[in-house]
Amino acid sequence: MVDDTEDVDFGTEDEEEEKARRSAKIRHPIASFVHLFFRVAAIVTYLLCDWFSKSFASCFVLIITLLSCDFWSVKSSQGQTEVEARIFWLGLIICPLLWTCFLFTCLFSLKVTWLALVVAGLSLQLANLYGYLRCKAGGQEVPPTTSSSFLGLHFLQRPDIIFGML
């Protein structure tokens, strides 16, 4: 006779363990590495550039290139598992905070030339963060204002404005 009070195992514990094990893995290690590499490389280059090169222009170009590569590559490393998502969001949030610290350091030390670089770096990092925060919020559409809808409608009716004379 079967006791009706016995618990029957439907395999939910095994499924939960498997799900936890899968979410703890980094399934896309190259994407996670690239996401952090360009950000960290730009910060390290900023910190050490004055030691290795006396040319501000070469430092500026190198750091902006690294940040641009980060801006381009971050779209493919959004994080598929929990670990990847944590890495992604930590990198996305911590790096602008570091650039903000660099901004205050430049302001208080009166390094005006380096301030331009820090503002450019901070703006690239904040633009990236803002875009992903907007996507994370679910893409809640704001109704277009009359001026933006007018311009959009005007450009759609007149493709020769965009593409030149057809």
> Rounded to an integer, what distance in angstroms lies between the CA atom of residue 55 and that of residue 100?
23
Among 36, 87, 91, 89, residue whose Cα is nearest residue 66: 36
Write out the E strands in 26-109. none
Domain-wise residue ranges, the chain:
22-139
Given a contact cutoff of 8 angstroms between Cβ atoms, the answer to whether 39 and 95 are in contact is yes
Residue 121 to residues 57, 64, 71, 72, 100: CA-CA distances in angstroms? 14, 7, 11, 14, 9
What are 23's two structure tokens?
Answer: 């979410």
Given a contact cutoff of 8 angstroms between Cβ atoms, the answer to whether 84 and 28 are in contact is yes
Q: What is the pTM of this model?
A: 0.65
Give the model confidence (pLDDT) of 114-129 as tens digits. 999 999 999 988 988 8
Q: Which of 19-23, 59-63, 121-125 has the lowest mean pLDDT?
A: 19-23
- If you count them, how many residues does the chain have? 166
Alpha-helix runs per DSSP H in 53-81? 56-73
Q: What is the pLDDT of residue 166?
A: 43
Q: What is the pLDDT of residue 2?
A: 58
Q: What is the pLDDT of residue 165?
A: 47
